[in-house]
Structure 1
Amino acid sequence: MMKVLIVEDELAASDNLAYLLHSINKNIEVVQVLDSVKASVDFFSRPHDAELVFMDIHLADGISFEIFEQSSIDIPVIFTTAYNQYALKAFKFNSIDYLLKPIDKEELADALHQFKVQNKGKRIDDQQVKGLLDLIQTERKSFKTTFLVSHRDQLIPLKTNTIAYFRIDTGIVKAITSDNTSYSVDDKLEDVEEELDPSLFYRANRQFIINKEAVVNLKSYFNGKLIVEVKPICPERIVISKAKATEFKDWLGS
């Protein structure tokens, strides 16, 4: 029986992670779910039998790195994060394991496998935590202000702030502007996402990236999902998964 601790302040996210863990291995037991720095420090100040921690970066009362400053964590930690790709180099540089939200079942299974083959996984030392925190805090991203797009056999410089959303249409990434003009973008949607300011644009799902200014309203959908209505109107339904619903509403209200 593998005993796992989850440190996560979003109930939907912790429930989803627990569900995925049990679906991968029935012998995984979630010993506790904690939602704050304080509760985590209290947990690690006492004897416990947890073998592995899945820890979100942002918690109800601070960031999870504060836990390392206030307590000794002697078991492996896998961070879960919604950070944009550019910031994840901090994890890679410091050889710290992470999973990008929303958590993919195959990637989670691979993380659990690595935990097993590395003799119950690697512990994080103080230097790794400091390096991670320093890189994230000092990272400065120059976001793209103009995209070179195709339109009627021409290449046109298109200002990023005029784009309402990006969508994949028959395998091609299209930028839809606020005046409902469609332009082809010669990049993958993943590459476009890395070049956008995450405070202004959100990767809704595999097909869409939405500008905050384009959102008109949200509607509840089945199984805790959300439907996003945008302006100009999109011919396809834009659906936010249950796992991302709370995060999306937080982003929209920030």
Structure 2
Amino acid sequence: MKVIIVEDEILASENLSYMLKEINSDIEILAVLDSVKSSIKYLEKGNNADLIFMDIHLADGTSFEIFEQVKIKTPLIFTTAYDQYAIKAFKLNSIDYILKPIDEEELENAINKYLELAEVSIPADNIQLENVLKLLNSEKKSFKSTFLVQSRDELIPLKISEIAYFYIEVGIIKAITLDNKSFIINEKLESIVEDIDTSKFYRVNRQFVVNREAVLKIKFYFNGKLVLKTTPPFKEQIIVSKAKATEFKNWMNN
């Protein structure tokens, strides 16, 4: 499979390239393009890519501006940190979307979705993409601020800003607060991630979502992985995979 990556953040493009190779070593990355201008220059000559991964915000504008200059018939997978309304629209106009920070499982699912549809012609629709751009400009993300949780015989509103981390224990989602109180959240972890501010919370692995404010130290682990020291401390090691390590450090640094 031949792919093109349109991404202006070096660490993000390197991380995506690494994860693609981990998923399928036969994937060939034809080009990494970091701007609207360079993308237009490359794509207007035609391309033989099977799939394009495209970020929304680029150094010199939005990737939708590319479609004003170039007719692209190659299937697209958007990588985006935009709100849920825009994401729903993306799903109508592309193979799939991946919400940043990129999760390796979601990336693999998106690739599998492309492979299932590989025999179907999926041209990009410039008019629809323009409508999505309007939606991006008009909608602002509204993040959830509280979870209604049970404490003994009462229901109390738990502020998300007070949660240090979420984790899965025997199929149950638990939230631990910064002052080390534990509550059960009656939602799936995927739903929680969609509703909270991902500039403040990061899903470090399939079982764990951590608040930036709860991270005290980041220790290097073997094989390129990281181990987090948090407050309050967790009973087990919180490990960030090698595939996510660079992106996590970049997220913490922003």
TM-score, normalisation: structure 2:
0.82
Kept in 2, the 8 Å contact 1:203–1:209? The answer is yes
Kept in 2, the 8 Å contact 1:151–1:184? The answer is no
Match of 2:79 in 1: 81
Shift of 1:85: 7.2
Q: Quick check: 1:117 aligned with 2:119? A: yes
Distance 2:236 2:44 in 1: 51
Kept in 1, the 8 Å contact 2:82–2:136? The answer is no
Shift of 1:20: 2.9
Q: Quick check: 1:209 aligned with 2:213? A: no
Distance 1:190 1:106 in 2: 14
Match of 1:102 in 2: 103
Aligned-partner SS, 1:247? helix
TM-score, normalisation: structure 1:
0.82
Cα distance change, pair 5–159 in 1 and its aligned pair in 2 (3 A): closer
Pairwise CA RMSD? 2.5
* Count of residue pairs brought into register by the alignment: 244
Match of 2:175 in 1: 175
Kept in 2, the 8 Å contact 1:99–1:108? The answer is no
Q: Deviations over 1:142-176 (max 9, x none)?
A: 32222211223432222222111111122211111
Cα distance change, pair 244–137 in 1 and its aligned pair in 2 (3 A): farther
Q: Deviations over 1:86-105 (max 9, x none)?
A: 2421212x432224232433
Distance 1:3 1:159 in 2: 45
Shift of 1:111: 1.0
Distance 1:80 1:181 in 2: 38
Cα distance change, pair 61–21 in 1 and its aligned pair in 2 (3 A): farther
Match of 1:42 in 2: 41
Aligned-partner SS, 1:204? strand
Cα distance change, pair 146–16 in 1 and its aligned pair in 2 (3 A): closer
Match of 1:57 in 2: 56
Q: Which moved more, 1:204-213 or 1:6-15?
A: 6-15
Distance 1:21 1:73 in 2: 28
Aligned-partner SS, 1:117? coil
Q: Name structure 2 gaps, 5 residues minimum.
A: none
Aligned partner letter, 2:158: L
Aligned partner letter, 2:96: Y
Q: Name structure 1 gaps, 5 residues minimum.
A: none
Shift of 1:231: 0.8
Shift of 1:79: 2.1
Shift of 1:187: 1.7
Aligned partner letter, 1:108: I
Q: Deviations over 1:1-40 (max 9, x none)?
A: x543233442121232245344xxx5x6433333333332
Distance 1:122 1:152 in 2: 53
Q: Quick check: 1:126 aligned with 2:126? A: yes
Matched ranges for 1:186-225 at <5 A? 186-225=186-225
Q: Deviations over 1:57-89 (max 9, x none)?
A: 3445554223223x3133223224253672421
Report the identity percentage.
Answer: 46
Distance 2:213 2:158 in 1: 17
Aligned partner letter, 2:18: D
Kept in 2, the 8 Å contact 1:37–1:62? The answer is yes
Q: Deviations over 1:117-146 (max 9, x none)?
A: 21xx31112212212222223223332222
